[in-house]
Structure 1
Amino acid sequence: MSDDQSLSAIWYIGALILVLSALFARRPGIGAILRSLIGWAIIAGAVYMVVEQRDTLARLAERFGIGGQSVEGGTTRIEMGPDGHFWARVELNGVSRRMLIDSGATTTALSQATADAASIETSGGGFPVMLSTANGQILAKRATIRSITLGNLHADNLDAVVSDRFGDLDVIGMNFLSRLGSWRVEGRTLILEPADTSEHEAARPSVLDQS
Structure 2
Amino acid sequence: MVAVVAMLLTERMPFDPVLSGIAERFKLGGQEVAGDETRLRMSSNGHFFADVTLNGVKRRMLIDSGATVTAISQRTAAEAGLKTDRSIIPVIIQTANGAVRAETGTIAELRLGNIVARDLKVVVSPAFGSVDVIGMNLLSKLKSWRVEGRTLILTPNHPQAVAAD
TM-score (norm 1): 0.62
Which position in structure 2 is the counterpart of 1:154? 116
- Show CA shifts across 1:80-130 (max 9, x none): 000000000010001000000000000000000000010011002352221
Q: Contact 1:128/1:142 (CA < 8 Å) preserved in 2?
A: no
Task: State the Cα RMSD in Å.
Answer: 1.9
| 1:175 match: secondary structure | helix
Equivalent residue of 1:176, what SS?
A: helix
The CA distance in 2 between the partners of 1:58 and 1:102, in whole Å, is 25
Q: C-alpha separation between the residues in 1 aligned to 2:34 and 2:142?
A: 16
Please identify which structure carries the higher strand content.
Answer: 2
Distance 2:143 2:46 in 1: 24
Tell me the residue number matched to 2:142: 180
Unmatched 5+ stretches in structure 2: 1-21, 160-165
Q: Counterpart of 2:26?
A: 58
Quote the residue 1:75 is aligned against.
Answer: 37
The separation in 1 between residues aligned to 2:69 and 2:94, in whole angstroms, is 12
CA distance in 1, matches of 2:24, 2:112: 24
Deviation (angstroms), 1:158:
0.5
Larger radius of gyration: 1
Counterpart CA distance in 1 for 2:158 and 2:108 is 21
Summarize the alignment of residues 46-125 of structure 1 with structure 2, pairs less than 5 Å apart. Answer: 57-59=25-27, 62=28, 67-125=29-87
Rounded to whole Å, the distance in 1 between the matches of 2:102 and 2:93 is: 7
Q: Runs ≥4 in structure 1, deviation > 6 angstroms? A: none
The answer to which structure, 1 or 2, has the higher relative contact order (CA under 8 A, 6+ apart) is: 2
SS in 2 for 1:191: strand
- In the comparison of the two structures, how many residue pairs are matched? 138
Give the match for residue 19 of structure 2.
none
CA distance in 1, matches of 2:46, 2:147: 12
Identical pairs, percent: 54
Cross-structure match for 1:28: none
